[in-house]
């Protein structure tokens, strides 16, 4: 989802702060709660999901017209239909989600990592405006990160037949080092944050041009929430907290 540079995830202040923020927000984020047989959670990486039922305030750090504000919040509402989280526009004061729009970057903190970011700093950057192509797709993707979803192409079961040399060259032209390509694209996620099957149609998937893979394998630009996106998110943020298998409260 990008014009020039691909999306990156904003790192937390540091690992321990990230862990503490995640567990304090939602004890179910602990990697220790594996007893329910959720095999993919065996990897010791904490998740960063908000507490189901939570209202998250959304504030825009740069001036936007009322029309633009409306259009941004409409996209939040698309996710809201499927999850037990509420997004509330905050015109002033503190907000968990702080969005920079005067930017050429597209990035977001991952779920509760937003709590570890200095309150004067954005937790999300969105480069496109509502009337531009891919605005909605781009914002849906970044909101996915904001609710704790990782990049789908780093899913442990993705098995994408990357042609690594071509991937390095392709993203190198956009200014990425090999290390950045490894981190953002080629390295499988340490601990799947969503316990569902790999989904090529996910809004959280980068486009994968066929030229970057061996053989015939590609993913186009996904522009809407896939059925599995909706399903996975609804499992993470269920209507009744008791339905969350890893919710210990
Ligand atoms: Zn992303």
All structural domains of the chain with their residue ranges: 8-239
Q: What is the pLDDT of residue 102?
A: 97
User: Ligand 1 center to residue 10 CA distance, Å?
Assistant: 10
User: Ligand 1 center to residue 85 CA distance, Å?
Assistant: 20
Long-range contacts of 137-141 (CB under 8 A, 24+ apart): 137/1, 137/203, 137/221, 137/222, 137/223, 137/224, 138/1, 138/2, 138/7, 138/106, 139/72, 139/75, 140/75, 140/78, 140/79, 140/203, 140/224, 140/225, 141/1, 141/7, 141/106, 141/203, 141/204
User: Ligand 1 center to residue 204 CA distance, Å?
Assistant: 6
User: Ligand 1 center to residue 206 CA distance, Å?
Assistant: 7
Report the pLDDT averaged over residues 104-129.
Answer: 96
The confidence band for 243, taking pLDDT boundaries of 50, 70 and 90, is low
Q: What is the pLDDT of residue 178?
A: 95
For residue range 126-173, what is the model confidence (pLDDT) as tens digits? Answer: 999 999 999 999 999 999 999 999 999 999 899 999 999 999 999 999
Higher pLDDT: 183 or 101? It is 101
Higher pLDDT: 39 or 78? It is 78
The residue to which tokens 């009337």 are assigned:
131
The confidence band for 192, taking pLDDT boundaries of 50, 70 and 90, is very low
Q: What is the pTM of this model?
A: 0.90
Report the pLDDT averaged over residues 165-187.
Answer: 94
Report the pLDDT averaged over residues 82-102.
Answer: 97
The confidence band for 26, taking pLDDT boundaries of 50, 70 and 90, is very high
Q: What is the pLDDT of residue 36?
A: 52
User: Residue 241 pLDDT > 80, yes or no?
Assistant: no
Q: What is the pLDDT of residue 93?
A: 94
Q: What is the pLDDT of residue 193?
A: 53
**Topology (CATH) of 8-239:** Collagenase (Catalytic Domain) (3.40.390)
The confidence band for 31, taking pLDDT boundaries of 50, 70 and 90, is confident
Q: Which residues surround ligand 1, an ion (CB under 5 A)?
A: 7
Query: Average pLDDT of the chain?
Result: 89
User: Ligand 1 center to residue 134 CA distance, Å?
Assistant: 14
User: Ligand 1 center to residue 249 CA distance, Å?
Assistant: 31
User: Ligand 1 center to residue 104 CA distance, Å?
Assistant: 14
- The edge-to-edge listing of strands for the beta sheet with 124-125 is 8-10, 107-109, 124-125, 97-100, 55-60, 86-89
User: Ligand 1 center to residue 92 CA distance, Å?
Assistant: 27
Q: Where are the beta strands (DSSP E) in 40-145?
A: 55-60, 86-89, 97-100, 107-109, 124-125
User: Ligand 1 center to residue 140 CA distance, Å?
Assistant: 10
Q: What is the pLDDT of residue 179?
A: 94
User: Ligand 1 center to residue 154 CA distance, Å?
Assistant: 11
User: Ligand 1 center to residue 35 CA distance, Å?
Assistant: 30
User: Ligand 1 center to residue 124 CA distance, Å?
Assistant: 11
Report the pLDDT averaged over residues 40-65.
Answer: 86
Q: Please tell me the distance from the alpha carbon of residue 173 to that of residue 5, in angstroms, as a whole number.
A: 10
User: Ligand 1 center to residue 80 CA distance, Å?
Assistant: 19
Report the pLDDT averaged over residues 107-133.
Answer: 97
């Amino acid at each position: 989802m990008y014009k020039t540079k691909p999306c990156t995830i904003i790192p937390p202040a540091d690992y321990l702060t990230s862990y503490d923020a995640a567990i304090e927000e939602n004890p179910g984020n602990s990697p220790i709660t594996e007893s329910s047989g959720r095999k993919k959670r065996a990897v010791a990486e904490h998740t960063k999901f908000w507490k189901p039922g939570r209202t998250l305030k959304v504030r825009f750090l740069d001036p936007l017209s009322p029309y633009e504000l409306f259009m941004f919040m409409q996209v939040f509402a698309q996710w809201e239909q499927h999850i037990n989280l509420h997004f509330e526009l905050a015109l002033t004061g503190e907000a968990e989600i702080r969005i920079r729009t005067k930017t050429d970057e597209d990035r977001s903190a991952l779920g509760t990592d937003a709590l570890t970011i200095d309150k004067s700093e954005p937790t999300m950057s969105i480069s496109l405006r509502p009337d531009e192509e891919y605005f909605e797709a781009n914002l849906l993707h970044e909101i996915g990160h904001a609710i704790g979803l990782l990049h789908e192409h780093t899913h442990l079961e993705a098995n994408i037949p990357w042609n690594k040399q071509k991937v390095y060259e392709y993203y190198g032209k956009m200014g990425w080092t090999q290390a950045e390509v490894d981190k953002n694209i080629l390295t499988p996620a340490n601990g799947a944050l969503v316990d569902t099957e790999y989904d090529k149609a996910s809004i959280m998937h980068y486009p994968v041009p066929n030229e970057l893979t061996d053989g015939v394998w590609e993913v186009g630009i996904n522009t809407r929430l896939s059925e599995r996106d909706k399903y996975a998110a609804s499992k993470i943020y269920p209507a009744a907290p008791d339905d969350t298998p890893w919710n210990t409260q």
